[in-house]
Amino acid sequence: MTRPFALRVRNLSRKFDVSAPWLNRVVERKPKQYVMAVDDVSFDVPKGGCLSLVGESGCGKSTVARLVTGLYPPSNGSLEFTPDINGAPLSAQMIFQDPYASLNPRWKVRDIIAEPLRELKLRETEEEILARVAELLTTVGLSPNDGGKFPHEFSGGQRQRISIARALATEPRFLVCDEPTSALDVSVQAQILNLMRRLQDEMGLTYLFISHDLSVVRHMSDRIAVMYLGRIVEEAETETLFANPRHPYTQLLMQTIPNIEHPKRAREVTTGEVPSPLNPPKGCAFHPRCPLADARCSAERPAVLTLKDGNRVACHRVEEAEGDSARELTGPNSLSA
Amino acid sequence: MSTETTFLARVKSSDLWYSFTRHRTAQGAALLLLILVLTAVFAPWITPQNPFDPAQLELWNSELPPIWMEDGQWPFILGTDNQGRDILSAILYGSRMSILIGVGTVVLSLFVGIGLGLIAGFFGGWVDNALMRFGDVLLSVPTILIAMLVSAVARAALPDHLKDVGAGFVLILALSLSAWVQYARTVRAQTAVERGKEYVQAARLLKVPARRIMFNHILPNTMTPILVAATLNFGMAILSEATLSFLGIGMPPSQPSLGTLIRFGNQYLFSGMWWMVIFPVLQLCLLVVSVNLLGDWLRDALNPKLR
């Protein structure tokens, strides 16, 4: 990994207090309860590239997104943005999942997109602000006249375009996309993804892309990190991951992708559900569902191994098979060779 | 295109206006309320006398029945009281006071309720708990009882020359003291929902100050239920004020409200001057009913689930 990184995340953790109210705890003698939504996560996002986080609902990918943008403070670990050429720290903006909740229904589109300009005083006069809004609307494929409308007058895809325009208003170098297409029709998904690819090329944007949809992720990303119960279980180059998934959980995810050539192929069905993050399994979090699990898996949590090809995986079986060629991740800096 | 025309155009194209044009009851209630408010506001210019200026009262006009009865006399359409005071004029002046106090109560309690509700809902935690439990305590005591307590204390505490002038303000304060809780609860609940929405997170990403997020982003999205509550509470405030005045702890006789008029009329009911009490009561009923009908329509019209 010699490419310069835009964001370096080390040992990031986030704990949420999900305890019952104080009175209930006293009366029912319950202890405080915490959820490790994100547990010791490390990754690099290459500059101008796209790293995707994939995983099932509740695996902590959206929490990572909110930690990266600063909406939540981390409980532990560090986030390091590379400063841009001018020495100014990169600012992360976000594209949200639900285009029906991410735009204030009482605001005109013009004001929604102008908000960053006004709040951060990026433009001086009202004319400059309106000109910039018109420019942004055009950039995302809408008409400057759309600024006078309210969000409810737009379709889901158009709303997501507005959301992108708002994120671009601050001229960010880094965009966190939290499932930006999961609320959209498949045909509209493609339009939005292509728009995002185009913007990435034109503006040199770096994406941290969150999704549960592997085909979307494959289209968008350079690298993919697979998350399970708050931890990264495998991280690899996109094509390597699809060609040769190493972690049993990644293999399970690959099994779930529909294949247009073999629509009725026999699939290995993995039983069980994601365990409750309130009470995660001991050892490897995936062992109750893993076809390869043995006694060691239920006792010892696998460390994240960096393999020869620079990809990383956290699994005892992989370690045993490729152990000699693998190098254990020891310190926070061993990610970058 | 001036802002005025766009505003009018927006009103005309809104769902609310459409619902209003199709709703006979709402139209009737609005018309009635408009008449009542206008006649009350312009009372000094349309009444034959200022009924509370002793210099304008003539004792030989006293105890006249309404005009359609045997001894009725122009211009005393609804008769006069025992001091020669025109009942219709007194009612219009009284409505004026009642409406003023109703509006004052709604405005003050809206102001306090929205502010505290926003703070409680937005910040959550112990601030939320403290504010809402305080509201619960206030609500656990009947409104009238709190209002009685406040006006009794104020009555004793205020110096003599301020008693009459301050009576209205004391009443507004007394009634607002428990009325704000309902607004605060409504706003708090809505705020807690809106706070988690992504458009608020987007604003937080821009480091928009909390005050501006609350007022510019969240507040407009909580206004619908508040509008309904405010309308219905306007009627409630007028009724509560009338109750207090009827009990003699509201508006003083020198600047009476409808409740005060009803109290006086009540004392003369058994001497046969029924018009002294019936007409103020009728006016009070019309006022409250028209407000409540409008509020009911508004609640239905703004509730998308009932469409």
Using one digit for the tens of pLDDT, what is the confidence trace for B215-272?
Answer: 999 998 888 889 888 998 999 999 998 888 888 888 888 888 888 888 888 888 888 7
Calculate mean pLDDT across residues A151-178.
90
Q: Which of A116-143 are b and which e, b meaning 16 or more Cβ less than 10 Å from the residue's Cβ? A: bbebeeebeeeeebbebbbebbebbbbe
| B1 part of contact set with chain A, CB < 8 Å | no
Q: Which domains does chain B have, with CATH numbers?
A: 38-54+61-306 (1.10.3720.10)
pLDDT higher than 70, residue A268: no
Disruptive mutation site among B6, B14, B198 for chain A (greatest number of A CBs within 10 Å):
B198
Q: What pLDDT was estimated at residue A173?
A: 84
How large a percentage of chain A has pLDDT more than 70?
90
B201/A96 CB distance under 8 A = yes
Please state, in angstroms and rounded to a whole number, the distance separating the CA atoms of residues A12 and A68.
10
Q: pLDDT tens-digit profile of A231-255?
A: 899 999 998 898 888 888 888 888 8
| CA–CA min distance B190, chain A (Å) | 14
Q: Are A199 and A167 in contact (CB under 8 A)?
A: no
Residue A327: predicted pLDDT:
53
Residue A15 bridge partners (DSSP): A36
Which whole-number Å values give the CA distances from B135 to A51, B109, B192, in the listed order? 49, 12, 17
Mark out chain A residues that contact chain B at CB-CB < 8 A. Answer: 66, 69-71, 92-94, 96-98, 101-107, 115-116, 119-120, 163, 166, 170
Yes or no, beta carbons of A104 and B198 under 8 Å apart: no
> Is A96 within 8 Å of B198 when comparing Cβ atoms?
yes
Measured between beta carbons, the chain B residues lying within 8 angstroms of A92 are 205
Mean pLDDT across chain A: 84
Domains and their CATH numbers in chain A: 5-91+172-328 (3.40.50.300), 105-166 (no CATH)
Q: Is B272 on the interface with A (CB under 8 A)?
A: no
Given this model, what pLDDT does residue A128 score? 92
Q: What percentage of chain A has pLDDT greater than the value 90?
A: 22
Report yes or no: A16 and A33 within 8 Å, Cβ to Cβ.
no
Is B205–A94 a contact, with Cβ atoms under 8 angstroms apart?
yes
Q: Are B89 and B49 in contact (CB under 8 A)?
A: yes
Contacts of A120 in chain B (CB under 8 A): 206-207
Contact list, A119 vs chain B (CB under 8 Å): 203, 206-208
What mean pLDDT is predicted for residues B133-142? 90
Residue B114, pLDDT above cutoff 90? yes
Q: Rounded distance, CA B15 to CA B21, Å?
A: 10
Q: Check pLDDT > 80 for residue A168.
A: yes
pLDDT of residue A333: 42
pLDDT of B95 above 50: yes
ipTM: 0.81
Is residue A330 over pLDDT 60?
A: no
Decide if pLDDT at B296 tops 70.
Answer: yes
- Tens of pLDDT, residue by residue over B15-42, are 788 888 888 999 999 999 999 999 888 8
Q: Please, what is the average pLDDT of chain B?
A: 85
- Taking an 8 Å cut-off on Cβ atoms, the answer to whether B221 and A106 are in contact is yes
pLDDT in tens, B60-73: 777 777 777 777 67
Q: Does B197 touch chain A (CB under 8 A)?
A: yes
CB A269 within 8 A of CB A256: no
Q: Which residues pair with A232 in a beta bridge?
A: A227
Q: List residues bridging with A225 in a β-sheet.
A: A53, A235
- B198 close to A (CB below 8 A): yes
Residue B305's pLDDT is: 65
Closest by CA position to A300, among listed A316, A280, A317: A316
* Residues B159-198 pLDDT 10s: 777 777 778 888 899 889 888 999 999 999 999 999 989 9
Residue range A194-213, pLDDT digits in tens? 999 999 999 888 999 999 88
Please identify which residue in the block is written with the tokens 């992108």.
Answer: A164
